[in-house]
Structure 1
Amino acid sequence: MDDGALDLQRAAREAAYSMPLEEINPADPEIFRTDTLWPYFERLRKEAPVHWAVSEEKQVGGYWSITRFNDIMAVDSDHATFSSEPTIVLPDPEEDFTLPMFIAMDPPKHDVQRKTVSPIVAPHHLAYLENIIRERAGVILDDLPIGEEFDWVDKVSIELTTMTLATLFDFPWEDRRKLTRWSDVATAGPESGLFDSTDPEQAEQQRRMELFECVDYFTRLWEERVKAEPKPDLISMLAHGEATRNMDRMEYLGNLILLIVGGNDTTRNTISGSILALSQNPDQEKLLRENPGLIPSMVSETIRWQTPLAYMRRTATRDVEMHGKTIRAGDKVAMWYVSGNRDEEVIERPNDYWIDRPRPRHHMSFGFGIHRCVGNRLAELQLKIIWEEILKRFPKIEVTGPPRRVYSSFVKGYERLPVVIPARN
């Protein structure tokens, strides 16, 4: 970490501990873009584990933050008290652009829709995908430039996960980068730099236009699949599934966004995070290269360390007491996975990147209860394979500059990570 980054971290710590608790807004995207979120969550865990904040963003307003591991697990496991409807993000949906999706539903509808797509990550299908992912990972890595700087996010993380996602959808190969764009647009705010304008109204208009392009494209695929025999791809599963075949256009789009973001954004950001984490912790990289058998443990530790989705929102269905605070029926509740994964009371040395830590899968990046990530094994598989293939090929990957992080408090990720693969002597 250079002097500028250290100064930024020191300033963040001073700000986090000097401002009144009620002024802390953990959903501020700027603290995620600058990677200065940590002291704010540290203070909340210590002093206000159930914390009320009011965001300046009109669609967010007031919300509760839950920041300790065990409290998050309790909220996430109690879908009767903490509902996923109407959305799993803090901004409320616009009345004229509501996107139902099964992750933002309660039982019984959630259960039957999730069950429709879950065969895509069944053990036998993962075994089938493993060889495909490995072959593609090899092609991607063999095509990387040696001795010159390139963007790891674009060349590797996006490419591998988008290839995998295109396979899951049986999506036209030549258009697969559309999936990346739709994933980014679905979760981005006006200040993200993804839109032609930073004006909130114009950015939202463009976002809707692009997402309508997404659903129109996928509707053509739907019409092809519904006329054919059922196949083991996500569109065919949705088109033929009893619980999903009668979805309207907006519910279809909602579930598409869920599957695209869940199948792409989170894994790609963890792949990028693994390169950064090992670069920042050379002792751990040395340990990994000396013992490739640690790859599965390293994968789990990276998923904890990165926490690619920073939070999930719930909405209280009744008044409930937590740590002396009353959460009222109808209140928004943010479960900050990114904070729970650094909870000193539950996780040993939580701020360390420790690839052979005991119980490496003891983290909350995949959530708990009925909404636990359906694709967690596929995410782990892609990370495992890419690192098995990296270690076969490259003695070193050097990060050559600071990452450019996503401007979002929901998706905790990277827009760019410059690296060089040194030429062999």
Structure 2
Amino acid sequence: MTISAENSEAQNTAVADALDYDPYSVDLNMAPYEVFARLREEAPLYYNATHDFYALSRFDDVNKALIDHETFISGRGALLEIIKSGMEIPPGTLIFEDPPIHNIHRNLLSRMFTPRKVLALEPQIREFTARCLDPLVGTDRFDFVNDLGEQMPMRVIGMLLGIPEEHQRRVTEHGEATLQNENADLMASGEVFAEFIDYRTKHPSDDIMTDLLNVEFEDETGTVRRLRRDELLMYLTVVATAGSETTTRLIGWAGKTLADYPDQRRELVDNSALIPNAVEEILRWEPPALHMARYVTRDTEHYGQTVPAGSAMLLMIGAANRDHRRFPPNGDVFDIHRELRSHMTFGAGTHFCMGNALARLEGRIALEEILKRFPEWEVDWPNARPSQTTAVRGWEAMPTFVA
């Protein structure tokens, strides 16, 4: 059988025009924005038959769905593979809970992220950042991830939890292994924290671990009690993993993005007052988590189509963050002078990230201290390595040549 050139060209065009988003493709997730733009305009409600999920990509749709925690629930998991596995979610997994139990657990942790506690960390974070960067001054290389991005959030979470410095690397590696685990039924148990719990039980201190060991609360049954050991272990795993990954990715993306936009980087060097806005724009521009998954509890209508109860829905954070309807005139333009409008990087509604102020503080300090020492850089692309996770995306290495 022969295929004419005309038919062949038509088939190639049809393949090129096919709109397909594979959430498990690491390569696609590192540069997904052409696909995301098509999703927003051509298929604001998208269905993927291969992986059996729906997706919403426009800002208003994503925001409304995240707030509607009765239709779009987290209790079956917030990752597509976990929802699809049907696994039982361990108690205390805060990001995989729904109200009212989620609100009870969230209130217990919110004491960790009060404005007072976050701001009190600034001198220590800045001192540690300087310690990481000063030995590199005068050299010609700086890796945004390996030299700082991995170190800073690990240290900050250690400060909050009261984990000794010599043990913090082990905790971070535990969190990375959790994220890279392809098997949804092998969620971390949190046992990495067991010895610290035992130590703080005998040696209380002014840290969140001591607080959580001693706090009494009324649970969903009306019983006043303390956290069980398994709940506390899971709490600490969630805090340590979520608290480190966002900042690590943010710093890596900052290295790449400001290398791509040297004129805007120069403005930050000349005027450090622009840095908080730049951090916000980098968070919008390259969010570590491109989507959040939800289980659909009841039939819901979008764009004239019914999403049936029992479906998995991806709420496309990365697509919503560049929606021109929310970020006019063009969300696909990076601009450190952009008028501040809330984005989706930290979520919305009941699961809005409690650590957002801490991540912003760490990002600001990192950029301030980096730009003081290294006002110019270029990415060493042959040695830059993308992370192989799909739950969060970013760089395992972001090496640069510095001037």
TM-score bracket for this pair, using the shorter chain length? 0.7 to 0.9
Q: Is residue 64 of structure 2 the alignment partner of residue 74 of structure 1? A: yes
Larger Cα Rg: Structure 1 or Structure 2? 2
Alpha-carbon shift at residue 16 of structure 1 (Å)? 10
Deviations 1:213-262 (A, max 9, x none): xx233122222323454x4423223322335843353x444433321221
Q: Is the 8 A contact 1:16 1:39 kept in 2?
A: no
Structure 2: how far apart are the matches of 1:306 and 1:133? 23
By how many angstroms is 1:80 displaced? 1.4
Secondary structure class of the residue paired with 2:121 = helix
Shift of 1:95: 6.8
Alignment of 1:305-316 (within 5 A): 305-316=285-296
Q: 2:193 aligns with which of 212, 218, 223?
A: 218
Partner of 1:418: 399
Deviation at 1:383, TM superposition (A): 0.9
Question: Secondary structure in 1 aligned to 2:325?
Answer: coil
> Structure 1 residue 352: deviation in Å?
1.8
The answer to whether 1:48 aligns with 2:43 is yes
* 1:233 correspondence with 2:207: yes
Q: What is residue 221 of structure 2 aligned with on the other side?
A: none
Aligned-partner Cα distance in 2 for 1:46–1:189:
34
Answer yes or no: is the 8 Å Cα contact 1:295–1:388 preserved in 2: yes
Alignment counterpart, residue 37 of structure 1, candidates 32, 35, 60: 32
Secondary structure at the counterpart of residue 64 of structure 2? helix
1:338 aligns with 2:318: yes
Determine helix, strand or coil for the equivalent of 2:295.
Answer: strand
Q: Does the C-alpha gap of structure 1 residues 81 and 98 become closer, same or farther in structure 2, counting only changes over 3 Å?
A: closer
Amino acid at match of 1:91: E
Question: How big is each residue's C-alpha offset from its partner over 1:321-343, in whole Å with a ceiling of 9 and x where there is no partner?
Answer: 11112112221111110110111
User: Which amino acid letter does the alignment assign opposite residue 120 of structure 2?
Assistant: Y
Query: Which residue does 1:197 correspond to in 2?
Result: none
CA contact (8 A) 2:387 2:393 kept: yes
Pick which of 239-248 and 406-415 moved more.
239-248
Work out the CA distance in 2 between the residues paired with 1:17 and 1:353: 30
Q: Distance in 2 between matches of 1:163 and 1:338?
A: 28
After TM superposition, the score normalised by the length of structure 2 is 0.87
Aligned residue for 1:278? 258
C-alpha contact 1:72 1:340 (8 A) present in aligned 2: yes
How far residue 365 of structure 1 moved from its aligned partner, in angstroms, is 0.5
Matches within 5 A, 1:84-95: 84-92=74-82
How far residue 15 of structure 1 moved from its aligned partner, in angstroms, is: 8.8
CA distance in 1, matches of 2:121, 2:293: 32
In structure 1, how many angstroms separate the alpha carbons of the residues matched to 2:38 and 2:87? 38
**2:57/2:320 contact within 8 Å kept:** yes
Q: What do the CA deviations read for 1:183-234 (whole angstroms, capped 9, x no partner)?
A: 21111145xxxxxxxxx7xxx89x66xx45xx233122222323454x4423
Pair 104,394 (structure 1): closer, same or farther in 2 beyond 3 Å: same
2:90 equivalent to 1:99: yes
Amino acid at match of 1:241: V
SS at match of 1:315: strand
Which of 175, 178, 199 aligns to 2:170? It is 178
Q: 1:25 aligns with which of 21, 46, 49?
A: 21
Supply the RMSD in Å over aligned alpha carbons: 2.4
User: Which moves more between the two structures, 77-86 or 90-99?
Assistant: 90-99
Preserved contact between residue 64 and residue 334 of structure 1 (Cα < 8 Å): yes
Partner residue, 1:143: 135
**Could you tell me which residue of structure 2 aligns to residue 112 of structure 1?**
104
Identify the match of residue 146 of structure 2 among 123, 142, 154.
154
Q: Indicate the larger mover: 405-414 or 389-398.
A: 389-398
Task: Indicate the SS of the match to 2:46.
Answer: strand
1:83 CA drift (Å): 0.9
**Gaps (5+ residues) in structure 1?**
1-13, 56-60, 191-199
Q: Is 1:407 the equivalent of 2:381?
A: no
**Aligned position for 1:242:** 216
Q: Distance in 1 between matches of 2:97 and 2:105?
A: 9
- The TM-score, its normalising length taken from structure 1, stands at 0.83
What is the CA–CA distance in structure 2 between the aligned matches of 1:120 and 1:420, rounded to whole Å?
A: 38
- The alignment covers a number of residue pairs equal to 381
Determine what percentage of the aligned residue pairs are the same residue.
Answer: 30
SS at match of 2:313: strand
Q: Distance in 1 between matches of 2:359 and 2:65?
A: 24
Contact map agreement 1:341 1:363 (CA 8 A) in 2: yes
* Residues 146 and 420 in structure 1, CA contact (< 8 A), matched pair in contact too: no
Q: What are the Cα deviations for residues 269-317 of structure 1, in whole angstroms up to 9, with x where unaligned?
A: 1011111111000111111112111011001011111111111111112
Q: Structure 1: how far apart are the matches of 2:310 and 2:86?
A: 17
Give the superposition deviation at 1:404: 1.8
For 1:310 and 1:120, how far apart are their aligned partners in 2? 26
Q: 3-state DSSP class of the match of 2:82?
A: coil
In 2, the alpha carbon distance for the partners of 1:15 and 1:255 equals 50
Residues 269 and 372, structure 2, Cα contact 8 Å, conserved in 1:
no
Which letter does structure 2 place at the counterpart of 1:307?
P
My pick for the range that moved more, 234-243 or 301-310, is 234-243
Aligned 8 A contact 1:32 1:408 in 2: no
CA change 1:419–1:15 in 2 (3 A) is farther
The question of 1:323 aligning with 2:303 is answered yes
CA change 1:16–1:153 in 2 (3 A) is farther
Q: Deviations over 1:68-92 (max 9, x none)?
A: 1010000011111111112111112
